A and B are shown apart, each in its own frame.
Chain A
Amino acid sequence: DAGVIQSPRHEVTEMGQEVTLRCKPISGHDYLFWYRQTMMRGLELLIYFNNNVPIDDSGMPEDRFSAKMPNASFSTLKIQPSEPRDSAVYFCASSWRSSGNTIYFGEGSWLTVV
């Protein structure tokens, strides 16, 4: 079975550029999460969706960050403009109502902003 698929796996970009991270959740999952992992702050929940609708975006750090889920099989996390402090690993994860709250993570997108 295919797991959560994220792209790109690695991205290096210059400060001020727009960054778009993409995610394909596991088929049949109706919850989608975006997490950010850094050494200093650990794993932070940025936003999560249920049935393509954003439920809680209280973790989104500022207006430079936006996330969309246009359909059940695709989501994007966009940073515009990017800053060096946005350098982190961004994880997409998915789940479904009968999973017992288990979350399935992708392998992450490693973002470096120089």
Chain B
Amino acid sequence: QQQVKQSPQSLIVQKGGISIINCAYENTAFDYFPWYQQFPGKGPALLIAIRPDVSEKKEGRFTISFNKSAKQFSLHIMDSQPGDSATYFCAASITGGFKTIFGAGTRLFVKA
């Protein structure tokens, strides 16, 4: 029940295309859903996050879509660029609890 399932494991997208990464969770107590971005040799860093009181959050080219009834959320990267090539992790936690569970990660490669 603590798991966060992420797919796909890897993704190749043409420059200018849309990258979509999906996640599903089981624990309905989760109320904070961040996405982290990790470049090679670096630690993960927060990219964007959503709480279940909204169905969508957009920051620049990055959008999270959230479906509370299906217990799923996804990251959309519009106009994908080679600089977006990284590993993306979805995650879930309970506000104030701080125990954050991460998905397995998606390695995104954007072809120039």
Contacts and interface: CB of A to CB of B under 8 A. Distances in A.
Interface size class of A (residues with CB under 8 A): 20 to 34
B89 interface: yes
Contacts of A100: 32, 49, 95
B99 A45 contact: yes
Interface residues of B, number: 22
Max chain B Cβ within 10 angstroms of own Cβ: one of A50, A93, A103, A107:
A103
B20 interface: no
A34 interface: no
Contacts, number: 56
A91 B44 CA distance: 9
In the A-B complex, the 10 residue pairs with the closest CB atoms: A105-B43, A43-B102, A42-B104, A101-B32, A101-B93, A102-B46, A105-B44, A107-B43, A31-B98, A91-B43
Given A50-B98, A93-B43, A108-B43, 11 more contacts: A31-B98, A48-B98, A48-B99, A56-B99, A100-B95, A101-B96, A101-B98, A102-B49, A103-B100, A104-B46, A106-B43
